[in-house]
Amino acid sequence: MKTARFFIIIVALLLLLPSCSRASSSDANLWDDEINDADWERTPMIMYGGELYFSKGMLESHMDAMQQVGRIEDTVSRTKCPAKHLQSNCGYVGCTVFVDPEQPGAIYVQDGELYLIFER
């Protein structure tokens, strides 16, 4: 009698367990979509040569070896990633962009007398 009662309780618990799970897979996907669509500010970045470069700070002095490669042409919201060549998500439209042949993984944006460093 005790064994039968124990067996019935175990079966009932096993049947109830799936209904206590966190969420169905469709509910979980809805939650992920809400997170992905949120307006989160992103790191300042610039698209150059088909690659994103991320802000690393400022360089105070002029570098003689730098070559001018263009100007920031367009900007997108801070919540988006730039998708076009010489587009940023941090403003600086019209600022000159430079590269240093000795530092191929970086670009420099001249903002007045200072240079902002962006690296891949």
State pLDDT tens for residues 32-71: 445 454 567 788 999 999 999 999 988 766 667 789 999 9
Total-model pTM: 0.64
Task: Fill in the amino acid letter for 112.
Answer: G
Displacement of CA 49 from its chain's centroid (Å): 18
- Alpha helices (H) in the chain, listed in sequence order: 2-16, 25-36
Contact by Cβ (8 Å): 42, 88: no
Where do the structural domains in the chain lie, given as residue ranges?
2-36, 45-119
